[in-house]
Amino acid sequence: MRDLVLETISGQPDIEIVGEVHDDSKIAELVEQTRPDCLIIELRGSDDRPGICDVLLERYPQMRILALAPDRNSSIYFWASLDIHANRVEASEEGVLQAVRSCVAMAGRAQ
C-alpha cells in the first residue's frame, strides 16, 4: 500500500513528500520536524480515530490526516476545527472589567 500511495502522489506537481517513517513511533517526531499540511497514516483495526490523530491535531490544528486501511479498502480524513463561543457582556464598566478578567483567566488555564 505504501508503494501505491507513494507512486500515486509523487508524480503530482502540487504535492511534495517531505518525509516517510517505517516505525509509527517516529510519526510525531517527523511531524515536528517537517510540519506537513497533510499526513498519511495507516488505519488499523476498526474505523475508530487513532489516538495519534488527537495528539497531532491538538498540537498542529492546521494539519489534515488521511488514514488508509488497505486491508478493508477504506480511508478516513481527519481535521480539527475551532469552536467559537459567545457570552453577552453587560454594557457597563463593571461588565467590561468582568469580561476582561474572564479572558485573562481562561487564557491562563489554556497554557
> Residue 93 falls within a domain, yes or no?
no
Residue-wise pLDDT for 28-62, tens only, equals 999 999 999 999 998 887 778 888 999 999 999 99
> Residue 88 falls within a domain, yes or no?
no
> Residue 109 has what pLDDT?
58
Round to the nearest angstrom and report the end-to-end CA distance of the chain.
Answer: 40
> Residue 74 has what pLDDT?
82
Report the pLDDT averaged over residues 62-89: 85
Which of left, alpha, beta for 45 (phi over 0: left; psi -120 to 50: alpha)? left
Domain that holds residue 75: 2-79
> Residue 60 falls within a domain, yes or no?
yes
> Residue 82 has what pLDDT?
79
> Residue 6 falls within a domain, yes or no?
yes
Structural domains counted in the chain: 1
Q: At residue 100, does pLDDT exceed 50?
A: yes
Q: At residue 105, does pLDDT exceed 90?
A: no
> Residue 39 falls within a domain, yes or no?
yes
- How many whole angstroms from its chain centre is CA 81? 9
Say what the pTM is: 0.71
